[in-house]
Amino acid sequence: MRDPRPIGVFDSGIGGLTVAVAIRQALPAERLLYFGDQAHVPYGDRDDAQILAFSEAIAHWLLERGAKALVIACNTASAAALKPLRERLPHVPIVGMEPAVKPAVEHTRTGVVGVIATVATMQGAVFASIVERFAQGVTVLQQACPGLVRQIEAGELDTPRTEAMLRGWLEPMVDRGIDALVLGCTHYPLVRPLIERIVGPDVRVIDPAPAIARRLGQVLTEADLAAGEGAGGIEVYTSGDEPRLRAMLHRLGLGPWPVHGLQWTEGRLTPP
Ligand code: DGL
């Protein structure tokens, strides 16, 4: 059976669009409803309870709009909300992000890999358990990047300040011999060219988005929820500034996708 209902995808802002693009490439027949919670970005400085409350309200809004499955296209929200949301919504397939430590460990020849992520992701129990399960004797250097999501949301993708911040975090890792670097936040692929320039050609930069898109494809097929043939699409919603988001999509070469505004009213998403 073909299921034309959309897939709900969300993030704290524009980062999850890097995942949405990978999903569009892997599953072109699917329709995506994307929500960026730009009123509350960055999530990485917030506590788990607050991130879970936002994520749950967003999940409900997406389900009310007819979503057949959800993708938490945010490592920080996945760490705080994936498990509880799966428990609270047992009939909804939910795919989340996790830092791709395993492929980095499989790739390394130097025995040293790096992971960059938000403060909340790095401090969470999920990240600690991934390192414990997959490091297998490899040294995993962990670096939180406070402020980087803000720079990216402000469109500072290749400015001297963003470069200085990244150099401060990445150069010590390169000096310690990493040959793989995991992008543990879905915003970071938006500064991938700058990251690659800093770490150089000998460090493989790993973005888990294509793997997540493949995983979503498997989940939909197993649950008999795939859209099958046909042209899908993406509709974008934000709790922030619509014209700014439209301009950003244009700058990133994404779209033209319809962008709509939503607002938070007493903990729920409503039309403006
Ligand atoms: N894209 C989110 C992530 O993957 C950014 C979190 C934030 O808003 O700080 O972690």
Q: Is 264 helix (H, G, I), strand (E, B) or coil?
A: strand
The whole-number pLDDT of residue 156 equals: 95
User: Is there an atom of ligand 1 within 6 Å of 78 CB?
Assistant: no
User: Is there an atom of ligand 1 within 6 Å of 42 CB?
Assistant: yes
* Cα-to-centroid distance, 20 and ligand 1 (Å): 14
* Cα-to-centroid distance, 149 and ligand 1 (Å): 7
User: Is there an atom of ligand 1 within 6 Å of 151 CB?
Assistant: no
Domain boundaries, the chain: 7-97+210-270, 101-207
Cα(147)–Cα(5) distance, integer angstroms: 36
Beta bridge partners of 269: 264
Please tell me the pTM assigned to this model: 0.96
Q: What is the CATH number of domain 101-207?
A: 3.40.50.1860
The class (CATH top level) of 7-97+210-270 is alpha beta
Tell me how far CA of residue 181 lies from CA of 19, 115, 244, in angstroms: 18, 6, 30
The number of the ligand 1 atom at minimal distance from the alpha carbon of 121 is 10
Half-sphere exposure of 166 (CA within 13 A, CB side): 26
Torsion over CA: 183, 187, 70, 54 (sign): positive
Residue pair 97/122 in contact (Cβ under 8 Å)? The answer is no
What is the pairing mode between strands 263-265 and 268-270? antiparallel
User: Is there an atom of ligand 1 within 6 Å of 43 CB?
Assistant: yes
Q: Do domains 7-97+210-270 and 101-207 have the same CATH topology?
A: yes
What size, in residues, is the chain?
272
Q: Any catalytic annotation for residue 145?
A: no
Q: Any catalytic annotation for residue 185?
A: yes
Mean pLDDT by 10 residues, the chain (272 residues): 93 96 95 97 94 98 98 97 98 96 97 97 93 96 97 96 98 98 98 98 97 97 91 94 88 84 96 87
